Amino acid sequence: MGVPICGACRRPIEERVVTALGKHWHVEHFVCAKCEKPFLGHRHYENRGLAYCETHYHQLFGNLCFICNQVCAGDVFTALNKAWCVEHFSCTVCDQKLTQKSKFYEYDEKPVCKKCYEKFPSELRQRLRESHENTMKKPT
């Protein structure tokens, strides 16, 4: 068996070797596909043949909380095309915690509880309803 060739620089690897993604790498050349920082022994996440650090993997493909911008630990609440830590999913007006059973409305791409929504001026509620209805209509 010969000297392995680095998947990044295509040069021989004569010291420590990282084997990942079906290739061999110099330790300093095995990097996150997004931020290009070397893993240096830290865990990497794979997607479509590329390696990512935990933060960028979750940012690009997973569950990064819309509020705290951290990886959602434990249960994840998905709403409004975003991921939220369960403890961070709350009304954007009054900060009341919302659950999967809570009635909420979308305002400025954020959740608003029913109580706060009902305090909005009627013209605003009407525009939000119309906007929601137009979004929900399927093209013919």
Cα–Cα distance, 123 to 81 (Å, whole number):
26
Domain locations along the chain? 17-61, 76-136
| Residue 27: partners with Cβ closer than 8 Å, 6 or more residues away | 15, 16, 17, 18, 38, 40
**Residue-wise pLDDT tens digits, 23-67:** 999 999 999 999 999 999 899 999 999 999 988 888 888 788 899
Domains 17-61 and 76-136 share a fold: yes
Q: What is the 3-state secondary structure (H, E, C) of 60-87?
A: HHCCEECCCCCECCCCEEEECCEEEEHH
Residue-level pLDDT at 92: 94
CATH architecture of 17-61: Ribbon (2.10)
Q: Which one is predicted more confidently, 109 or 26? A: 26
Cα 83 off chain centre by: 7
- Residue 71 bridge partners (DSSP): 64
**Considering the domain 76-136 in this protein, what is its CATH number?**
2.10.110.10
Q: Are 72 and 64 in contact (CB under 8 A)?
A: yes
Residue-level pLDDT at 24: 96
